[in-house]
């Protein structure tokens, strides 16, 4: 049974779980050397939205969304067209362990994200969505897209894999 929850109280175990999920959800060369400190800092940032997915009681997925303006500061050199917007959140990362994929976990996490965005008064979400794993198509089916553009060589995290930058409206309940 899958369950997704917004997480606000963290400990070292949570950081370890998040790092484990990310290291095992993506190609090994994507893993940051300082993943523990990066996610530790992100988990302490009250503006960030953290969603953990559980599969039969075990942590199986993680989604991190940060304010768009923070994302712009981090990504402006890799995507000069990204724009600031105080009413928008950016999906920084979403990973699901291989054994838990295909069970609608992404949908559960996206629903939790939308609910939390509505609670915070956030009107839009954005992300750089991979093409090869169909994340771009999934997002396009689930949300009303207000902007999309293809980056043929997105270097930030996926080493020149084509990626769509998507902006979408947070759905009403």
Higher pLDDT, 116 or 135: 116
Render pLDDT for 44-63 as a digit per residue (tens, 0 to 9): 888 999 999 999 999 999 99
On the question of pLDDT at 138 being above 60, the answer is yes
Q: What is the CATH number of the domain that holds 84?
A: 3.40.630.30
The answer to which of 31-40, 123-132, 153-162 has the lowest mean pLDDT is 153-162
- Name the pTM for this structure: 0.91
Count of domains forming the chain: 1
* Residue 21 token pair: 């999920």
148 three-class SS:
strand
Q: Which domain holds residue 133?
A: 2-169
On the question of pLDDT at 83 being above 90, the answer is yes
Bridge partners for 10 per DSSP:
none
On the question of pLDDT at 154 being above 80, the answer is no
Answer for the pair 78, 126: CB distance below 8 angstroms, yes or no. no
Average pLDDT over all residues of the chain: 89
Answer for the pair 53, 2: CB distance below 8 angstroms, yes or no. yes
On the question of pLDDT at 4 being above 90, the answer is yes
- According to the model, what pLDDT value does residue 160 have? 67
């Amino acid at each position: 049974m899958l369950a997704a929850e917004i997480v606000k109280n963290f400990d070292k175990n949570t950081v370890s779980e998040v790092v484990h999920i990310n290291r095992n959800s993506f190609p090994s060369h994507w893993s940051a050397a300082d993943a523990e400190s990066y996610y530790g800092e992100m988990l302490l940032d009250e503006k960030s939205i953290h969603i953990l997915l559980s599969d039969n009681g075990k942590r199986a997925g993680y989604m991190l969304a940060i304010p768009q303006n923070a994302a712009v500061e981090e990504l402006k050199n890799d995507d000069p067209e990204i724009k600031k917007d105080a009413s928008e959140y950016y999906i920084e990362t979403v990973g699901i362990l291989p054994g838990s994929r295909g069970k609608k976990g992404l949908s559960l996490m996206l629903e939790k994200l939308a609910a939390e965005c509505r609670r915070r008064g956030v009107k839009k979400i954005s992300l750089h969505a991979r093409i090869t794993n169909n994340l771009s198509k999934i997002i396009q089916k689930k949300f009303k897209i207000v902007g999309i553009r293809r980056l043929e060589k997105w270097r930030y995290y996926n080493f020149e894999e084509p990626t769509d930058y998507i902006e979408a409206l947070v759905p009403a309940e």
